[in-house]
Structure 1
Amino acid sequence: MASNFGVLIKRAANDQDKAMDAYARQYGLTGVQMSMIDFLGRRSNDVVLQRDIEAEFNIQRSTATVLLQRMEHKGFVVRQSAASDARQKQVILTQKAVGLKQHVESYIDNQQAKVEAAFSPAEMAIVNRALKFWIEENRK
């Protein structure tokens, strides 16, 4: 009998979050903040607005605001009015966060490499297809 896919997704996400939080702690970050630095760092040539963060992480505006305020307070990001639309907030990594960017990217890339090493490309394609289905199904 197959395992409950939803339970497995939740357990995997929880375990990933715990591991990421443990790693991030040494840099004064949370796992979510580390993911944010990764997201912003990989788009350093682009203008990233708060709404882009909301879409990427599938979070509400209020959640993004609190997260970014905490990161501002810790000196990891600055928010400023976007040149294209003053109502929108552009989010920029500070030098402090840029200094951590390599550690963050290495951790995330290593985690991805571990998964890719454990499964064939065909298996990875099936897992990706199943996860994308799950995401779309739950957005209905």
Structure 2
Amino acid sequence: MAGREGAERSRLERYSILLDIAGTAHYNNLQANYFSLGGDHMENTDLSFYIHKLSNHTDRISHAIYNRKELDECSLTSLFVLDFLYAHRDQRLCQRDIEDEFFINRATASKMLRLMEEKQLIRRTVSDEDKRSKTIELLEKGLELQRKCGAIRQGTEEALGEALTPREIEQFKAICRKMLAHLE
């Protein structure tokens, strides 16, 4: 526990330093954009801005593809968790694995998993190896939803990739993996 909290504190300290540096760099970048555009307006060209917009579009596309009522009022994150559990069904996964994979905090993961358990999508049982931990098992109802999740993923992937060549898609994924590896 202390190791994880220490790593989280270290990550937050690194972010804090990056924010201090980024704040100055961002201000300088905004000034440069302002003056290069003739001083009449500033366009936001930050990576975070583009990533945020893509995330919003991804959510819209996914929500257009699936009917939340049909899928037992599951959030997109819950569907992706079901997909993750299915992909790793041969492993013993616990809440921490979900937290790490989806970069969510303990409280968020706990609430989401509790709701999924109430909907009989998963079962949590005390781990044989560590009595403080619960392993997560996909139930039949969860498997049914996971199959539908595959169609949602495929439809979202197709919509997002329509404007890109296969090579550009691979390059984009490589850049995303590199950024994630750096931030994690």
Q: Could you tell me the TM-score, scaled by structure 1's length?
A: 0.83
Offset, 1:46:
1.8
Say if 2:133 is the partner of 1:83: no
> How many angstroms does 1:112 deviate by?
2.4
Give the letter aligned to residue 8 of structure 1: Y
Q: Would the aligned equivalents of 2:58 and 2:160 in 1 still touch at CA under 8 Å?
A: no
Q: CA deviation at 1:97?
A: 0.9
Give 1:103 deviation, angstroms.
0.9
Contact preservation (8 Å) 2:94, 2:135: yes
Asked whether the equivalents of residues 24 and 30 of structure 1 are also in contact (C-alpha less than 8 Å), the reply is: no
Q: Is 1:42 matched up with 2:87?
A: yes
Q: Distance in 2 between matches of 1:82 and 1:90?
A: 6
Task: Find the counterpart in structure 1 of residue 49 from structure 2.
Answer: 7
Q: 2:149 matched to 1:135?
A: no
The aligned runs of 1:50-69 (5 Å cut-off) are 50-69=95-114
Q: Matches of 1:53 and 1:34 in 2, distance apart?
A: 12
C-alpha distance in 2 between matches for 1:44 and 1:10: 31
**Aligned residue type for 1:27:** L
Change (3 A) 1:123 1:41: same
> Offset at 1:57?
0.2
- For the residues of structure 1 that align with 2:156 and 2:100, how far apart are their CA atoms? 23
**1:16 corresponding residue in structure 2:** 58
Return the offset for 1:117. Answer: 5.3
The normalised TM-score by structure 2 is 0.65
Note the 1:53-132 alignment, pairs <5 A.
53-116=98-161, 118-132=163-177
Partners of 2:119 and 2:87 in 1: CA distance: 20
- State how far apart, in whole Å, the 2-side matches of 1:108 and 1:125 are: 17
Mean alpha-carbon deviation: is it higher for 115-124 or for 3-12? 115-124
Q: Structure 1: any 5+ residue segments left out of the alignment?
A: none
- Sequence identity of aligned pairs in percent? 24
Query: What is the distance in 2 between the residues matched to 1:19 and 1:117?
Result: 13
Q: Which amino acid in the other structure matches residue 174 of structure 2?
A: R
**Length, aligned pairs only:** 139
Structure 2, gaps ≥5 residues long: 1-32, 34-43
Contact 1:37 1:93 in 2 (8 A): yes
Q: Tell me which structure has the larger Cα radius of gyration.
A: 2
